[in-house]
């Protein structure tokens, strides 16, 4: 059993290229781990409802993965804090969405 959670922040323009591969990589190595996702809105733009549908559909296929959505832009530290508050574990690994994982966590 894992005693930590993983928190990932993302937004619309990183969904296909970065976020989806990262979440798949994490779940490949650690399918049981709790992942908390914060989805940020764009600055001065309406929240894209098609993106909302796409990311919720993708995340719903991943066990033990939960999402917080911000329809308007939020600062990174605010999203990190909310991820930590909502996680089930007292320890959390915070990741940006533009990384690649090549070995087990």
Q: In this predicted structure, what is the pLDDT of residue 105? A: 62
Q: In this predicted structure, what is the pLDDT of residue 103? A: 80
- Secondary structure class of 75 (helix, strand, coil): coil
Helix 20-29 to helix 49-60 angle (10° resolution) is 10
pLDDT digits (tens, 9 = 90+) for 15-66: 999 999 999 999 999 999 999 999 999 999 999 999 999 999 999 999 999 9
User: pTM to 2 decimals?
Assistant: 0.91
Q: Which residue has the tokens 């914060």?
A: 38
Q: Which residues of 44-83 are buried (b: 16+ CB within 10 A; e: fewer)?
A: eeebbeebbeebeebbeebeebebbebeeebeeeebeebb
pLDDT digits (tens, 9 = 90+) for 56-104: 999 999 999 999 999 999 999 999 999 999 999 999 999 999 999 888 7
Q: In this predicted structure, what is the pLDDT of residue 18? A: 96
Query: Does the pLDDT value for residue 2 go beyond 90?
Result: no
């Amino acid at each position: 059993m894992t005693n930590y959670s993983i928190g990932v922040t993302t937004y619309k323009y990183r969904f296909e290229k970065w976020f989806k591969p990262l979440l798949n990589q994490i779940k490949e190595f650690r399918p049981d781990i709790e992942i908390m996702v914060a989805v940020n809105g764009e600055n001065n733009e309406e929240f894209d409802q098609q993106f909302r549908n796409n990311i919720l559909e993708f995340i719903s296929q991943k066990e033990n993965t939960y999402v917080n959505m911000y329809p308007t832009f939020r600062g990174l530290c605010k999203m990190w804090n909310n991820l930590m508050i909502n996680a089930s574990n007292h320890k959390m690994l915070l990741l940006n969405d533009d990384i690649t994982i090549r070995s087990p966590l």
